[in-house]
A and B are shown apart, each in its own frame.
Chain A
Amino acid sequence: MSEEQKPGWRSIPIAGIITEPGSAMKYKTGDWRAYRPIIDEEKCVNCLLCWIYCPDAAIKRGEEKVSVDYEYCKGCGICANECPVGAIKMVEERR
């Protein structure tokens, strides 16, 4: 959403409150990422350490492998640091 499309001060809720629960899902924090975790599926042993350590619950479990939810992954690199088989690489984002 561009700055122009966002609601102005006359129409936003009073005092900056959020009027409904569960709205954090609408905040796509993946925009913040400077480094993108890339999972090498060949190396991944599905140990789920990355899934446990991810502070943003941005690792998704699959049938046999894990994947990254890039809409919410902030690129902190904890998964890459914890991966015991070196299956996750942090690659600079180029936008």
Chain B
Amino acid sequence: MSRILGLTGNGAVAYAVKQCEVDVVAAYPITPQTLIVEEFSEFVHNGEVHTEFVCVESEHSAMSACVGASLTGARVFTATASQGLALMHEILYIASTLRCPIVMGVVNRTLSAPINIHCDHSDMMGSRDCGWIQVYVENAQEAYDWVLQAFRIAESPEVLLPVTVNLDGFILSHSLEGVEVLDDEEVRSFVSTRKPVITIDPNKPITVGPICFTDFYFETKRQHVEAMNQSPKTINEVNGEFAELTGRRYNFIETYMMEDAEAAIICLGSTAGTAKAVAKRMRGRGKKVGVIKPWVYRPFPAEQILKSVENIGSLAVLDRACSVGAPYGPLCSDIAAVLYKENVKLNIFNVIYGLGGRDITPLDIEAIFNEALEVAETGVVKEPLKFVGVR
């Protein structure tokens, strides 16, 4: 029996973590993430969960404690944002290559300087190559749903990789929505308990994290790459089981009005909601536009994206982060690489938007759609990389 609760994005994450019966949470507060661990600490205080809540002195320590806890076989969660994620950076790589199935809520916020607490994706994109599975959500419901699925995916012996669930700072983290939640018992049977592959046992000592020079480092990393490459199978299975349980069908990407689209926008996170609303409105005026939203960013859903763009004439790739000095922002670089690799000639252009929480309005999105339609018609990309919403 599902119920609808009024939850913020952060509240939805905290509620999901509570239902997943997490053993250890080690976390440090940072805006706009703080409410996740603050609300969770109330569950701990009220005795609603058995979780060991570790108050640490920094995010570097938070992730370090998570790695240690995860290696003991515990189910582990933490959350962070922005500078906090940046401070965790070196430990993120340790967590993933040591194959610790930690789940982390990342409430996307820009990186300093100038100091700013609002949304963009530069925090996660800055740690893009840390070897974690990375999911981006559009609303609080998706945040709740993906946290439940994240534990299943991360802890699967076939995967054994940490997962970040990214939600847009303030836009999602602090907005109240009706979120359909499962009963505790349903979550318990869906998520189950963690069955660790590597176990710490005094009677059978092992060494974790030994030095690995030129002779074995490369092999260990190659193994990590393979785990990521094999993860889509498990992600797909978990999505399928979740759909059976809830009726909410997730996939690597969501496509909206793409069947006969001539031009499309692809973007991560909450902006997809705005883009879908604008697309629907423009459809009413006969403009054939659609939206592609990757839920899963790592592993990169190349196959699904290629299939979705098969019949369009132009694609606008929206990046809420910029890679200063690079030809494109991070999402567009991936897309360009995939198109080139498969020899697909599609006219794309990259839009950098919303840095430091600058709003992207329906009018901005409409202008981008119109430009994409023009590119589809003329076959000419006037501006391969443009900044929308900056003065």
Contact = CB atoms under 8 A, between A and B. Distances in A.
B99 A6 contact: no
A17 interface: yes
B4 interface: no
Nearest to A22: B205
Interface stretch (A8-16, A40-48, A67-75, A87-95): A8-16
Contacts of B220: 9, 12, 15-16
B212 A16 contact: yes
Contacts of A19: 206
B160 A14 contact: yes
Contacts of B115: none
B98 interface: yes
B216 A17 contact: no
Contact of B219 (A12, A17, A20, A21): A12
Interface residues on B, range: 20 to 34
A35 B97 CA distance: 35
Interface string A32-69: 00000000000000000000000000000000000000
Contacts of B217: 16
Given A9-B222, A9-B223, A21-B205, A16 B216 contact: yes
A78 interface: no
B209 interface: yes
Nearest to A6: B215
A14 B196 CA distance: 12
B223 A12 contact: yes
Nearest to B225: A9
B343 interface: no
A16 B208 CA distance: 7
B52 interface: no
B197 A17 contact: no
Nearest to B160: A14
Contacts of B247: none
B198 interface: yes
Interface in B184-230: 197-198, 205-210, 212, 215-220, 222-223, 226
A15 B97 contact: yes
Contacts of A20: 205-206
A15 B208 CA distance: 8
* A6, A10, A14, A16 — most chain B CB neighbours (10 Å): A16
B226 A17 contact: no
Interface in B23-72: none
Given A6-B215, A9-B226, A16 B206 contact: no
A17 B208 contact: yes
A21 to B, nearest CB: 4
Contacts of A6: 215-216
Contact of B215 (A3, A21, A23): A3
7 contacts: A3-B215, A14-B99, A15-B98, A16-B97, A16-B216, A20-B205, A21-B207
Given A3-B215, A9-B222, A12-B220, 5 more contacts: A9-B223, A12-B219, A15-B208, A16-B98, A17-B208
